[in-house]
Chains A and B, each alone.
Chain A
Amino acid sequence: MKNDYQVIIIGCGVVGAAIARELSRFDVKVAILEKEADVSFGTSKANSGIIHAGFHSTKGTLMAKFVVPGNRKFDRLCEELEFPFERRGELMVAFDENELRILQTYHKMGLDNHVPYMELLGKERVLEMEPNVNPEVEGALYAPTAGIICPYEYCFALTSNARENGVELFLNKKVSWIGKQGNGKFEIETEDGSRFTSDFIVNAAGLYSDEIAKFVGITNFKIVPRKGEEYLLDRRVGTLIKRVIFPCPTSNSKGMLVIPTVDGPVMVGPTAMDTEDKNDWATTRDGLKEVFTQAQKMVPGIRTSDIITSFVGLRPAAVGNNGDFIIGTTTVSGFINAAGIQSPGLTASPAIAEHIREVLNKEGVKMELKRDFKPKRKIAIRVRHLLEKRDYSEYGNIVKNDKAYSKLVCRCENVTEAEIVAAIKEGHITLDGIKFATRAGTGRCQAGFCTSRVMEILHRETGIPFEQITKKGKGSEIAPYPIKKGDGK
């Protein structure tokens, strides 16, 4: 029957996508309902991109349970799904006696969570590893298993592979009602009038997971967003540090960090401020000051003049659960939560996905491995890596096979038309989606040069009228008013 599934996942951020990909290994009929115009458009797009070592999580929590197993899975996932990932390592730096004691506490927490290869370093070793860290540093906790990824590329990769293996993705489908039929199946209605039925629901709806749960009568948790501002610095700054630099944490957040990114630029942030507004995506002057004060304390070479862009993330922090993840079965049969996933959710996502699969299995979903499962994802060649290495013979070969690789669309990040078209074919038809999938528009000129070209290609490939092309879904059209001329009126 159409629109009838065994499992429907609500929400396609990194958690929903990881679950989808995990389930796609088995003979299960799965669909994802995502309310935005593309996946990863909620909390996941503003993630800091850190794969945590795991010493921040308190023993006994679900966070602690999933963070290290999740961390371990990234090498294989990266190899199969081709998203950028590097195990750079992280340093939690201390500037006085008190902070050195705090390092000891986290070292113990790490041991409790089975974080491997940690070291407590003295001043000289820290400065040897990271010469641009503030020379007043007294010591650091070093965890080499921490890494950095691009969170939305990870989400896109998971989703793409899940779809290639049979999972169906429905975009622009905001759930408006969930009911139960007589036969025990869930009935789901979305705002645009579509209907779906499913045996099981996995609630991975991030900021709105409490509202989704409410539809089935579950009210024992509330999501109170914790806002974080992040500032992206010119890739020239990327040579300052190699590893993720943490301060000693505060009571409600891991603190404001200096984060190298896989693509080059350095990120500083995030702040941590509770807000009632799930739509408060605004950066603030105070936030900027706060971030830079903290960041400059750790790495003095950072300047506000290096900012190329900024953004806000909203962590879906669950209140009424000690802020821990809310994962597993509920009082409603068939309704499974994967909610309240704030940090270290990204790191934990592969482990959470496996756990959810086990839960579903236990609840009665038969899990037989697909014989024709395709673990490897094919992606468009990222030409910029070749160009950075000045490998023109290899690049020349690629161009011979496909002319579209010689059409440069984004000059700042060296993105060609071939890559844009591949992203569009994968379903990314908003400028932000294409930006996340290809990096076109993320560079120095911030899409000044490539915007019109990407729009032309989108229009050509999809037929979407120029004036309907959006930044991130309906309501965000770039050039919405065609100038009516020559009509004799």
Chain B
Amino acid sequence: MKRSIICISCPLGCSLSVEHDDKIIISVSGNACKRGPVYAQKEVFAPERVVTSTVKIEGAKIPLLPVRTDRSVSKDKMFEVMREIFKLKAKAPVKRGDVICKNICNSGADLIATRTLS
């Protein structure tokens, strides 16, 4: 099977031509760097996305703490992760990189703070 996908690993957004069968990638072309085939592999068989959002925070000068998953999570789990993020609450002080929720929804990714708030 042949597919045309856009790599989202970086803002360049290379147009990849991917040949694959049910189990493996046969070939990838159009990539400007080695991230392309890695992305193609995942996107065709097990697509993943990084989730970014905000979490309510108590005791800080602003009401919301921006957060993200420290690696991409399976696309199927995306909405589950979002729903879980809605439930969470953080408490100041928080440092950028602090883990707000370890292995969120069993996705293999930690939810980390992307801002330092005291």
Contacts and interface: CB of A to CB of B under 8 A. Distances in A.
Q: Decide if A and B are genuine partners.
A: yes
Interface of A: 484-489
Interface residues of B, number: 10
B88 interface: yes
B53 to A, nearest CB: 9
A46 to B, nearest CB: 37
Overall SS of chain A's interface: loop
Contacts of B58: 486
21 contacts: A484-B86, A485-B54, A485-B55, A485-B56, A485-B64, A485-B85, A485-B86, A485-B87, A485-B88, A485-B89, A486-B55, A486-B56, A486-B58, A486-B87, A486-B88, A486-B89, A487-B87, A488-B87, A488-B89, A489-B86, A489-B87
Interface string B55-91: 1101000001000000000000000000001111100
Contacts of A489: 86-87
Contacts of A485: 54-56, 64, 85-89
Given A485-B88, A486-B58, A486-B89, 6 more contacts: A485-B56, A485-B85, A486-B56, A486-B87, A486-B88, A488-B89
Nearest to B88: A486
Q: Which of A485, A488, A489 has the largest number of chain B CB atoms within 10 A?
A: A485
A108 B63 CA distance: 68
A484 B64 CA distance: 11
Interface string B79-107: 00000011111000000000000000000
Nearest to A485: B56
A292 B20 CA distance: 59
Contacts of B86: 484-485, 489
Ranked 10 nearest A-B pairs via Cβ: A486-B56, A486-B89, A485-B56, A488-B87, A485-B86, A489-B87, A486-B88, A485-B55, A486-B55, A487-B87
A484 B86 CA distance: 7
Contacts of B85: 485
A486 B84 CA distance: 10
